[in-house]
Amino acid sequence: MEIQLLLTFLVLAGALFLFISEKLPVDLVAMLVLASVLILGLVTPAQALSGFASEATVTVAAMFVLSAGIARSGILNGLGDLLSRIRWPWMFALAMMLLAAGTSAFINNTAIVAVFLPLVIAAAAATGQSPSKMLIPLSYAAQFGGVCTLVGTSTNLLVHSVAVQHGLSGFTLFEFTALGIWFVVVGTVYLMFSRRYLLPDYGIPNADDDSHRGRYLTELHVPEKSSLIGKRGNELLPLDSGDVYIIEIVRESVTLHSPSTTEVQAGDRLLLRGAWNAIDKVRKELKLDYDPVAKDLVADPAADRVHAELMVVPGSHLAGHTMASLRFGHTYRLRVHGLQRPNERLRRPLHRIPLEVGDILLVDGTPAALDALRQEPGLMLLTRRAKREVDSRRAILSVGIMVAVIALSAFEIMPIVASALLGCVALVAVNVLTPEDAYGGIDWRVIMLLAGVLPLGIALQNSGGADWIAQGALDLIGNGNPLLTLAIIYLLTAVMTEMMSNNASAVLIAPIAIATAGVMGVDPKPFLVAVAFAASTSFATPVGYQTNTMVYTAGGYRFSDFFRIGVPLNLIFFVMAVVLIPRYFPF
């Protein structure tokens, strides 16, 4: 057992390092963890693969499909359109947060933010407010709304699954609701006041002049007979070029050293970084060309083309692939002019850069090409939203099926996993979704993460690691104060969630919480609720939760913006958890 314990902690340490450092995608780290605990004999083959058959994994996949049915019916866009009609800024902010929180209790919160984000940007500008005053509250509301039900977040389902694996009863569909409503109310009130003082005002985007916030990396080509030929890189930019810098000069696919002293030749590609208006001004003044990779697109009449910003959303199949490998321009009939990625200095040609979640692409295309993107789940339009009418038939059926799924579970007619799977079958059977739509609606990275990290929790239990950590912690803090233990478990989970995947932090802490309760001789449910709530509400960083990553780039935020408004909310929720959890879930 000592060898098993040591090996388990080595795997745990390696997983923590990879999750926190983000050197590899989280789903790949999860698969490495699964393979490690299996190869080292820390779990049996059946236990190693149990994550794929876990109630949490299957239910999360099914809820993704149910959410896709509602999203693709257009009903969320209809709700967003109603929201955009509110002209009082304070009323708009309140309605936005309550709507996001209410829908996130039953629909995947990433889907909620993906649909509402462009609507909120447009509506905020229409009410005379900067979107940067609205987007962080949108993300936060989607998070604390999700804690209100068992199906509101994948983390709640994961903690429930861990509890069932340990022989506990788990949680019912609405067991979190009474406590969750307190978090929604307090979180909404806090954001209504704090957003005015703690969030920055980065201005209102003006769609009429194609002004785009943020600093883009772009690629411009030097044509034949250009006046720039023979000049050095430090002589190219005009004196009034503003916030534009030459990063690299690329010649025949080779990046040249010392671009400032290199003489430019015809056919060279100049990599520039800066504000888009300044870049476009330089392009016109120096008579440079855009990337001609998709040459067949140049024939499209320029007058019919529209600029737009696209975001790579969580779960996108584009993440990890370059635009060259995707044949991006030909596939979507778009020309890519720039790429924006916060806090990273990109120095490669656009077509060689692997895309990441949160990347913003500045493109132009015909209205028809941009409208077609509404069917593309991996990309989201920010500055130009394709109008999507509500499909009444699909809306009624998808909402009706979701209500039926919830009712069957709430009245304990069948388990949530059974009713959710039945709902998925019904969506396909009545042609609300095609089988391809159903598969495409699932965020497979989350599924692989859940399936991969669950065996690590089993290994902690098998090796005695969870008991060892629990006993060691109690030796330090004393084993007679469950309230103090609850506070430490919540705080530890919250801190870990800010640095790594919320699901990973939950599956690592939940077995320890159960073991701690066993050593103390108290009910483990309060500790598990603390894990679920702390892991589902990540406010202090833009990387702790997917919805934060989405609004991070779209709102033009800085890392410090999340810290400034998020840390006080984390502390408020911490105090609330310590006070309220024992009232609803006694020890």
* Cα atoms in the 13 Å half-sphere on the side-chain side of 62: 25
Q: Locate tokens 């996949």: which residue?
A: 61
| pLDDT tens digits along 423-464 | 999 999 999 999 988 888 888 888 888 888 889 888 888 888
Identify the burial level of 209 via C-beta atoms within 10 angstroms of its C-beta, where 0-12 means exposed, 13-18 middle and 19 or more buried: exposed
Q: How far apart are CA 271 and CA 218, in angstroms?
A: 6
Residue 87: is its pLDDT beyond 90? Answer: no
pLDDT tier for residue 309 given thresholds of 50, 70 and 90: confident
| pLDDT tens digits along 145-166 | 999 999 888 899 889 988 988 8
Element (H, E) at 250: strand 244-251
Contacts of 373 (CB under 8 A, 6+ apart): 310, 332, 379, 381, 386
Residue 300: is its pLDDT beyond 60? Answer: no
Ramachandran sector of residue 333 (left: φ over 0; alpha: ψ -120 to 50; beta: rest) = left
Q: Locate tokens 């209205």: which residue?
A: 367
pLDDT tier for residue 208 given thresholds of 50, 70 and 90: very low
Q: How far apart are CA 314 and CA 255, in angstroms?
A: 31
Of 218 and 467, the structure prediction assigns the larger pLDDT to 218
Residue 209: is its pLDDT beyond 80? Answer: no
Q: What is the average per-residue pLDDT within 326-345? A: 82
Residue 72 corresponds to which amino acid? R
pLDDT tier for residue 24 given thresholds of 50, 70 and 90: confident
CA angle 70, 71, 73 (to 5 degrees): 65
Q: What pLDDT score was predicted for residue 294? A: 55
Q: What is the average per-residue pLDDT within 96-105? A: 92
Q: Tokens at residue 76, please?
A: 């969320």
Q: Tokens at residue 68, please?
A: 């896709």
| pLDDT tens digits along 185-207 | 999 999 999 998 999 887 765 54
Please say whether the beta carbons of 34 and 51 come within 8 A: yes
Beta strands across the sheet bearing 360-365: 254-256, 244-251, 269-275, 215-221, 334-340, 360-365, 306-312, 379-381
Q: What is the average per-residue pLDDT within 50-73? A: 87
Q: What pLDDT score was predicted for residue 78? A: 73
Residue 175: is its pLDDT beyond 50? Answer: yes
Q: Is 385 helix (H, G, I), strand (E, B) or coil?
A: coil
pLDDT tier for residue 34 given thresholds of 50, 70 and 90: very high
Q: Is 99 helix (H, G, I), strand (E, B) or coil?
A: helix
Q: What is the average per-residue pLDDT within 333-356? A: 82
Contacts of 472 (CB under 8 A, 6+ apart): none
Cα-trace Rg, the chain: 25
Q: What pLDDT score was predicted for residue 184? A: 96
In 303-413, DSSP assigns E strands to 306-312, 334-340, 360-365, 379-381
DSSP, res 470 = H
Residue 352 corresponds to which amino acid? R
Q: Tell me phi and psi for residue 503, to 5 degrees.
A: -70, -40
Q: What pLDDT score was predicted for residue 291? A: 66
Lowest mean pLDDT segment, chosen from 171-180, 384-393, 422-431, 541-550: 384-393
CA angle 566, 380, 534 (to 5 degrees): 25
Q: How many CB atoms lie within 10 A of CB 586?
A: 11
Q: How far apart are CA 447 and CA 100, in angstroms?
A: 24
Residue 387: is its pLDDT beyond 70? Answer: no
Helix, strand, coil percent values for the chain (each to nearest 5): 60, 10, 30
Q: What is the average per-residue pLDDT within 372-381? A: 76
pTM exceeds cut of 0.85 = no
How far apart, in Å, are the Cα atoms of 499 and each of 487, 548, 562, 574? Answer: 19, 13, 13, 17
Q: Tell me phi and psi for residue 279, to 5 degrees.
A: -60, -45
Q: Tokens at residue 484, please?
A: 């103090």
Q: What is the average per-residue pLDDT within 483-497? A: 91
Please say whether the beta carbons of 68 and 440 come within 8 A: yes
Closest CA to 109 of 182, 184, 172, 161: 184
Query: Average pLDDT over the chain, rounded to whole?
Result: 84
Q: How many CB atoms lie within 10 A of CB 207?
A: 16
Dihedral sign, Cα of residue 248, residue 251, residue 253, residue 254: negative
CA angle 279, 282, 287 (to 5 degrees): 125
Q: What pLDDT score was predicted for residue 431? A: 92
Q: How far apart are CA 304 and CA 301, in angstroms?
A: 6
Of 304 and 34, the structure prediction assigns the larger pLDDT to 34
Q: Locate tokens 């001609």: which residue?
A: 292
In 369-416, DSSP assigns E strands to 379-381
